Amino acid sequence: MPLGVIAVVYEARPNVTIDAAALCLKAGNAIVLRGSSTAAHSNAVLAAIAAEAAIAAGLPAGCVSLVAGGGREELAELATQSDTVDLIIPRGGEGLKNALKDVATVPVIYAASGNCHVYVDASADLDAAERIVLNAKTQRPGVCNAVETLLVHRDAAPQFVPRILGALAEAGVLVRGDELTLALAGSSNGDPAARARVRAAGSTGEEPQPAPGASPEPATEEDWATEYLALTLAVRVVDSVEDAIEHIGRYGSGHSEAILTRDTAAARAFQLGVDAACVYVNASTRFTDGGEFGMGAEIGNSTQKLHARGPIGLRELCTFKYLVEGDGHVRA
């Protein structure tokens, strides 16, 4: 059964107007669209086309509606229409999420932020790790399934950190690193003091190789919790898979997390220990997408646990009704 009237609140990309309208109508729902002021004209044209096409196909007038203007006051009014709106799906950053959390009386599924991580374990294939990290960060940095923090096991760090810093620099990525990441960057460029810090930190493995052009900035506590949506990446060296899981549990948003490893036990510990909608082993976080999952289009990716988690497609826009027929039956 359809859910009823679904309000989709979204920022920026006007393609969401058509994606959301098509999905909701196909699932049997009516839709109320509220886009951002930055794409108001595009949203208005696209919503009008969708409404016209729906009516021409025999759907009732008003099955696609667009509301615009009014700022946060209008958003609060929409979020409290419990008698007429059955569900709100916000697509946007933490600001939009928090604005709805404060006022919403209508049920909400947050297609919210993705502070995603890739963890390079001690046994990782470093060639594959480099490809995966670059893909997860640079293939499309402005989306919710792009990686925002790279975690590297201490034993892999002397070889991998300088290498990936060089590759990231060539790709135009700004790195914000912890103390050991900065030391490895310095040691790879001939800084004796940095080499001493690396030795003092107890790193093992081969001597770091040069990473030309890599000049990471010091990371702050805020960096670990930031969804950059840009060519910026936080990098941290951790002691174990358990430390990686703990870091993700503290700073992650429950969206998409990846471990790169050849150790089956480490992979399984990561899968079971990380609480996220999508957990990957030896693959990029960029696969979290309704189309990639074979579900077709999506409205967004839910980081919640009820009633949808991960990509929100046709199935997630429906609910159940039990039709029970009897012949005088009574319960004993």
Long-range CB pairs of 308-316 (<8 Å, 24+ gap) are 308/109, 309/277, 310/277, 310/278, 312/89, 312/109, 312/111, 313/23, 314/23, 314/26, 314/27, 316/109
26-44 pLDDT, tens digit each: 999 999 999 988 899 999 9
> What's the Cα-to-Cα distance from 153 to each of 48, 161, 226, 239, 257, rounded to whole Å?
52, 10, 21, 6, 15
The average confidence (pLDDT) of the chain is 91
Please state the rounded mean pLDDT for residues 308-318: 94
Q: Is 216 a residue whose pLDDT tops 80?
A: yes
Residue type, 139: Q
Is residue 157 scored above 90 in pLDDT?
Answer: yes
Q: Is the pLDDT of residue 327 over 60?
A: yes
* CB proximity list for 205: less than 8 A, separation 6 or greater: 155, 156, 157, 158, 159
Dihedral of CA 235/237/241/245: which sign? negative
Is pLDDT at 262 greater than 70 in this prediction? yes
- C-alpha 40/C-alpha 67 separation (Å) is 10
- Asked if residue 212 has pLDDT above 80, the reply is no
pLDDT above 70 for 117 = yes
Average pLDDT over residues 288-315: 92
Q: What percent of the chain has pLDDT above 70?
A: 91
Comparison of pLDDT for 262 and 102, the residue scoring more: 262
Residue with tokens 């990380």: 274
Whole-prediction pTM: 0.88
Tokens 């890599």 belong to 214
Q: How far is CA 178 from CA 84, 159, 170, 202, 234, in A?
A: 50, 16, 20, 15, 8
pLDDT at residue number 68: 81
pLDDT at 256 over 80: yes
β-strand pairing of 87-91 with 232-238:
unpaired
Mean pLDDT of 169-194: 83
CB contact burial 119-134 (16+ within 10 A = b; e otherwise): bbbbebeeeebbebbb
In the CATH hierarchy, which top-level class contains the domain 5-111+299-317? alpha beta
Check residues 13 and 317 and name the one with the higher pLDDT.
317
**Is it the case that residue 184 has pLDDT exceeding 90?**
yes
Report the pLDDT averaged over residues 148-171: 97
Higher pLDDT, 207 or 158: 158
Indicate the pLDDT class of residue 210, thresholds 50, 70 and 90.
very low
pLDDT at 213: 52
Mean pLDDT calculated for residue range 288-301: 92
The domain ranges of the chain are: 5-111+299-317, 116-287
CATH number for the domain formed by residue range(s) 116-287: 3.40.309.10
Q: Where residue 199 falls among pLDDT bands split at 50, 70, 90? A: low
The token duo for 100 is 């709805």
Identify the top-confidence range among 11-20, 140-149, 203-212. 140-149
For 1-5, 70-74, 222-226, 246-250, which range has the lowest pLDDT when averaged over its residues? 70-74
CATH topology identical between 5-111+299-317 and 116-287 = no
Which pLDDT does position 195 carry in this prediction? Answer: 53
Placement of tokens 């912890």 in the chain: 178
Of 60, 50, 43, residue with least CA distance to 21: 50
**Greater model confidence, 198 or 326:** 326
Note the maximum CA span of the chain: 88
**What value does the mean pLDDT take over residues 153-176?**
97
| Residues 48-75 as b or e (16 or more Cβ within 10 Å = b) | eebbeebeeeeeeeebbbbbeeeeeeeb
156 neighbors 292 (Cβ within 8 angstroms):
no
